[in-house]
Structure 1
Amino acid sequence: MPVSILSPESWTLLQSIIVFSLCALVIAIAGTRITRVVDQLADRTGLGEATAGAVLLGAATSLAGSVLSVTAAYRGHPELAVSNALGGIAVQTFFLAIADMVYRRANLEHAAASAPNMMQNGLLIALLALILLAPTLPDVSLWQVHPVTPILIGFYLYGTRLIQGAWESPMWRPSITRDTREDKPEALNRIPPLARLWTEFVVLMATLGAAGLVLEPAATTISTEAGLSQTVVGVLLTAISTSIPELVTSVAAVRRGALTLAVGGIIGGNAFDTLFMAASDIAYRDGSIYHTMDADTERWVTLTLLMAAILIMGLIRRERYGLGRIGAESLAIMVLYILGVALMFSG
């Protein structure tokens, strides 16, 4: 292997594209496998699909993007770190609409409605609002960390605890219809031992993290050599490529009939992705990373807030069938995402 390949700073555009593509492929393969592992862990541990989707699947499939954002922030590329983190949330919500298209029996929002999934979406809206609020606050920091960062982390941990409570002791339940798919644990004698599942889970997570680490310098070089802004690269290249596991796992979960896991994995992953901002702010050594957000990035946060609000309304409304057997909420989410991409290039 040429020495230059081992030195990211000397990569050519072609080498960067090849490395980028290989990392995306690794992320897709590992992300596909980790869906089944998390589904089995949910049954083995008794966590339930919604909680396992939010905590285990959400964190695991988001690891590559998290590593990329933190690495970019540490190396002085805050625009790439922020756009990757927030662009990933938008595209993953778009992926949920694609999963709805795959499930033909009924609208996904109808079939997978649950209290934990709605709690997760509410948590996501609150965390995105905090991120949108941060740039309007004074640009102050303690040890180069903005005060919103520990609040963001604390709010996430508290919200996760509330979600677990909504699973263990729900105060209300959605009406059960013939199209509702509830979490039905797999027979334990058909599930591998817990130690094997955890080992495979950790190995797959490490693989996703390593791919994200290598992906960052490739994306930075592509941005520089191709003359693209880091926001465009972050939103349309790294965010999409590091979010491939969410698309793969949500479609795979839908085909396995694990609808709550599919929805919980996307929404839970989105909530976890807001912590990219907190971790990136800690890694960024030149002040508050929130105050590096440009107009394009703030627009994506606003559009994602709107998509999340529409999704939670869909989970409450629970339309059984829509146009072409796709939920009206899914259509609205797809339109908003495409609008965001169009506005980014029109500017």
Structure 2
Amino acid sequence: MSIPPTESWTLLQGGLVFLVCAAIIAIAGTRITRVVDQLADRTGIGEAAAGAVLLGASTSVGGSVLSVTAAWNGNAELAVSNALGGIAVQTFFLAVADMVYRRANLEHAAASVPNMMQNGLLICLLALILFAPYLPDVTVGGVHPVTPVLFAVYFYGIYLVRTASESPMWLPSATGETREDKPDDVTAMPPMSRLCVEFLVLMAVLGIAGWVLEPAATVIANRTNLTQTVVGVLLTAVSTSIPELVTSVAAVRRGALTLAVGGIIGGNAFDTLFTAASDIAYRDGSIYHAMPEDSKFWAALTLLMSGVLMMGLIRRERHGIGKIGMESAVIMVLYVFGVVLMLGGVQAPPAYN
């Protein structure tokens, strides 16, 4: 399968391809929520673990393929901004899902130790990405040493999440608004083989859509004179993150609150691996040292948003402003603030020796 050279694409063609791919991602992402919820019950791994591993990874396929493809084509700025912008907008989507659940704040109702662990893992991974540009610009086989560390920390973190789920050392207090993860009747579900096949097919659809989305995004950036960071944060990151918005809202409506929160946080942790995978695909050295200041700004902002979310998960406020949590309101303000600064062309201060 090949795509015609993007140099011959018009802005209209690039925009149409972009919209079609975004629509495919939204539809497939909606469908995969139900499949993952049923797989969680069928396998007995629980909604939090399923959200972290199955839902988080599957809905992130489109974005990961886009970042790796962009890095392979030498577009380091688009690759990194898509990854970091995706984490920021998905955290924003969690606040949107909080608005959908009206009974109580989502972070209160979906309290779980695994979700806390996942968010702690996300903060560690983001800190590593921010730390990498300040290390020596050396590579081994074209790969920076931080890349294997990111993979190792992620997989060890997932192990800790599973351990915390099976044998928690402490539990959140149960209240009248707490929604426990109770498996549905598995006898009324499709067989395991059918669920697995459907899951893999939907993952493939999301991956192909993300692959086609990258050249469309490049055309939009070139034809509109927008920076790749703006395109990555506002266009590709949002479009490839549509599954997280759709799946989190769908999970809330299904009553799978732990799955909704776990899917977003788990997807965010998985999305940090976009940067690691992009470093492997990037052939011009370390992708961390090719990160523009705008991308570092989004990494720092996302780290701040994740810290606010962690405080909200610990505090567990029942009702806040407009019947959403205070942390959700702060996260939304931070994201909008970041977008305004980026569109306003605010530049990072010059570095002094």
> Structures share a fold, TM > 0.5?
yes
Q: How far does the alpha carbon of each residue in 1:32-53 deviate from its partner, in whole angstroms, 9 at most, with x for none?
A: 0000000000000011000000
Q: Secondary structure at the match of 1:180?
A: coil
Amino acid at match of 1:36: R
Equivalent residue number for residue 349 of structure 2: none
Structure 2: runs of 5 or more not aligned: 347-353
Q: Report the 3-state secondary structure (helix = DSSP H, G, I; strand = E; otherwise coil) of the residue aligned with 1:29.
A: helix
Which residue in 2 is equivalent to 1:189?
A: 187
User: How do 1:102-251 residues align onto structure 2 when only pairs under 5 Å count?
Assistant: 102-251=100-249
Structure 1 CA distance for aligned equivalents of residues 75 and 247 of structure 2: 29
Mark the runs of 5 or more structure 1 residues left unpaired by the alignment: none
Contact 1:5-1:15 within 8 A present in 2 as well: no
Answering whether residue 323 of structure 2 is matched by residue 333 of structure 1, we say: no
Distance of 1:123 and 1:9 partners within structure 2: 41
Q: TM-score, normalised by structure 1?
A: 0.98
Residues in 1 aligned to 2:48 and 2:294: alpha-carbon distance in whole angstroms: 32
Q: What's the CA shift for 1:197?
A: 0.3
Which residue number in structure 2 is paired with residue 11 of structure 1? 9
Structure 1: distance between partners of 2:164 and 2:258: 14
For residue 9 of structure 1, report the CA deviation from its aligned partner: 3.6
Please state how far the C-alpha of 1:292 moved relative to its aligned partner: 1.1
CA RMSD of aligned residues (A): 1.0
By how many angstroms is 1:5 displaced? 7.2
1-side partners of 2:217 and 2:314: how far apart?
39
Say which SS state the counterpart of residue 106 (structure 1) adopts: coil
Which residue is 1:276 aligned to? 274
Structure 1 residue ranges, 4+ long, deviating more than 4 angstroms after superposition: none
- Provide the C-alpha distance between the structure 2 equivalents of 1:332 and 1:295, rounded to a whole number of angstroms: 24
CA-to-partner distance for each residue in 1:56-84, whole Å, 9 max, x for gaps? 00000000000000000000100000000
- Report the Cα offset of residue 145 of structure 1: 0.3
State how far apart, in whole Å, the 2-side matches of 1:8 and 1:57 are: 32
Partners of 2:269 and 2:319 in 1: CA distance: 27
SS in 2 for 1:150: helix
Query: What is the rounded CA distance, in whole Å, between the counterparts of 2:281 and 2:228 in structure 1?
Result: 18
1:308 corresponds to which of 283, 306, 309: 306
Q: 2:57 & 2:294 partners in 1: Cα distance?
A: 26
For residues 306-346 of structure 1, what are the alpha-carbon distances to aligned partners after superposition, in whole Å with 9 as ceiling and x for unaligned? 11111111111000000111100000000000010011122
Tell me the equivalent position of 1:56: 54
For 2:312 and 2:178, the matched residues in 1 are separated by 14
Contact kept, 8 Å, 1:58 with 1:265, in 2: the verdict is: yes
Distance 2:294 2:5 in 1: 32
| CA–CA distance in structure 2, aligned partners of residues 301 and 155 of structure 1 | 18
Conserved? CA contact 1:16–1:221, under 8 Å: yes
Q: Measure the CA separation in 2 of the matches of 1:118 and 1:77.
A: 34
TM-score (norm 2): 0.96
Counterpart-to-counterpart distance in 2, 1:278 and 1:5: 26
Q: Does 1:76 align with 2:77?
A: no
List per-residue Cα deviations over 1:87-139 (Å, max 9, x = no partner).
00000000000000000000001001100000000000000000000001110
Cα offset for 1:7? 3.8
Find the aligned partners of 2:302 and 2:30 in 1 and give their Cα distance: 25
What displacement does 1:54 show? 0.4
Q: Give the AA of the match of 2:65.
A: V
2: CA distance, partners of 1:252 / 1:201:
17
The whole-number CA distance in structure 2 between the counterparts of 1:27 and 1:238 is 12
Aligned residue pairs total 344
Is 1:322 the counterpart of 2:282? The answer is no
Amino-acid identity (%): 74
SS at match of 1:142: coil
> Which whole-Å CA distance do the structure 2 matches of 1:8 and 1:31 have between them?
27
Q: Distance in 2 between matches of 1:195 and 1:66?
A: 26
